[in-house]
């Protein structure tokens, strides 16, 4: 599904001075890559741009250009609120519902700025003044490239912004393997390589620079994995006690859920992680099984057809039982 409302967008950018770029809670490679790439482009257009994100993000993203200037809302609300209030234009990248901005929601709703949503998740909310929503896109990062193409800004991209965009594309497509990877995704990637991206180096920074704790947590998770009797569903989980004992840090279990789909015959997998009296979860599926609907109906979440997430206020035992019921164990 596509919804594109960009008439007058270029003129609105031309007249904006102070721009704020936001993304979703627990920012991932696509959220940070898109925000920092767009910041760089808008700065080349002479804008004053602040990237404000709801909470901290993992270390493997700290090498992206502009990282040092990112404002973390949970670390300093006053300064961030002042920027949000003073902005003429606010971008909402890689999310399409105010609730995904977590504690920033109130300030964002109250802001008088022109609001621009650029996102590839299903069922966007309807408040933006300008909207570029396309659920068929590999990533919000690819959409930043497409936006530059539409606005004739590709000449403003450079090696640093290309690295940001490439990072979001590789992380959101599982290195070009998920179904939203299109011929155009590869075409965009090739243009990013022409701008100077070195895939091997970047993969090394993004995927092969992990702390020891990540592999210890992975081992514990795989050790207690459960497979349904029909072999089609896979349940993965880590308790809060295990996370604490093995050195959990925010973002460190990114991608763990995908191990559930690497088993022959598996079609649906869930990864549960207990934190602060609740359970954060990730769902992934193959083919027609729609985990976006499943997440919305039973797990207080949402996302895409084959990749979604949510959060339920339950103990781990309750969450395991709840998952088995709704996955059709």
Residues that bind ligand 5GP (CB under 6 A): 24, 97, 100, 121, 257, 282, 301-304, 307-311
Q: Which is nearer to Mn ion, 17 or 207 (CB)?
A: 207
Interacting stretch for Mn ion, rule CB under 5 A, among 11-19, 139-147, 152-160, 216-224?
139-147
Phi, psi of 302 (to 5 degrees): 170, -165
Q: Which of residues 141-200 bind Mn ion (CB under 5 A)?
A: 172
Q: Which is nearer to ligand 5GP, 143 or 257 (CB)?
A: 257
H or E element at residue 234: strand 233-238
Furthest CA-CA distance within the chain: 60
CB of 236 to ligand 5GP, least distance (A): 12
Closest-by-Cβ residue to ligand 5GP is 309
Q: Which is nearer to Mn ion, 238 or 281 (CB)?
A: 281
- DSSP line for 50-96: EEEESS---GGGTTSTTGGG-EEGGG-HHHHHHHHHH-SEEEEES--
Residue with tokens 């991932």: 28
H or E element at residue 269: strand 268-275
How far is CA 236 from its chain centroid? 21
Q: Which is nearer to Mn ion, 94 or 134 (CB)?
A: 94
- b or e along 151-183 (b: 16 or more beta carbons within 10 Å of the residue's beta carbon)? eebeeebeebbbbbbbbbbbbbbeeeebebbee
CB of 200 to ligand 5GP, least distance (A): 25
Interaction between residue 30 and Mn ion (CB under 5 A): yes
Interaction between residue 94 and Mn ion (CB under 5 A): yes
Q: Which is nearer to ligand 5GP, 87 or 180 (CB)?
A: 180
Of these partners, Mn ion, ligand 5GP, none, which one is at the site of residue 119 (CB under 5 to 8 Å by kind)? none
Interaction between residue 254 and Mn ion (CB under 5 A): no
Q: Which is nearer to ligand 5GP, 42 or 238 (CB)?
A: 238
Instruction: Report the C-alpha gap between 164 and 199 in whole angstroms.
Output: 12
CB of 140 to Mn ion, least distance (A): 5
- Can you give the binding site for Mn ion, defined by CB under 5 A? 30, 94, 140, 172
């Amino acid at each position: 599904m596509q919804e594109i409302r960009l008439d007058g967008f270029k003129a609105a950018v031309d007249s904006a001075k102070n721009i704020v770029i936001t993304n979703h809670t627990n920012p991932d490679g696509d959220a940070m890559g898109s925000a920092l790439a767009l910041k760089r482009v808008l700065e080349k257009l002479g804008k004053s741009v602040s990237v404000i994100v709801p909470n901290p993000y993992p270390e493997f993203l700290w090498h992206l250009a502009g990282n040092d200037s990112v404002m973390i809302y949970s670390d300093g609300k006053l300064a961030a609120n002042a920027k949000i209030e003073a902005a003429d234009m606010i971008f909402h990248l890689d999310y399409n519902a105010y609730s995904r901005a977590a504690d920033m929601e109130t300030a964002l709703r109250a802001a008088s700025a022109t609001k621009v949503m650029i996102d590839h998740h299903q069922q966007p909310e309807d408040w933006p003044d300008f909207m570029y929503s396309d659920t068929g896109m590999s990533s919000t990062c690819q959409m930043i490239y497409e936006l530059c193409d539409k606005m004739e800004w590709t000449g403003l991209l450079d090696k640093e912004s290309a690295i940001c965009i490439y990072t979001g594309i590789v992380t959101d497509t599982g290195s070009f393997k998920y179904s939203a990877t299109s011929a155009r995704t590869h075409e965009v990637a090739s243009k990013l390589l022409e701008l100077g991206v070195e895939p091997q180096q970047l993969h090394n920074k993004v995927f092969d620079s992990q702390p020891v704790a990540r592999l210890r947590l992975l081992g514990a998770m795989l050790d207690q994995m459960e497979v349904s009797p029909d072999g089609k569903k896979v349940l993965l989980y880590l308790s809060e006690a295990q996370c604490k004992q093995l050195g959990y840090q925010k973002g460190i279990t990114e991608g763990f859920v995908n191990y559930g789909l690497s088993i022959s015959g598996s079609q649906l997998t869930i990864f549960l992680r207990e934190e602060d009296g609740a359970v954060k979860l990730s769902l992934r599926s193959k083919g027609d099984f729609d985990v976006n609907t499943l997440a919305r109906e039973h797990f207080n979440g949402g996302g895409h057809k084959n990749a979604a997430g949510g959060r339920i206020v339950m103990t781990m035992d309750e969450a395991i039982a709840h998952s088995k019921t709704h996955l059709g164990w």
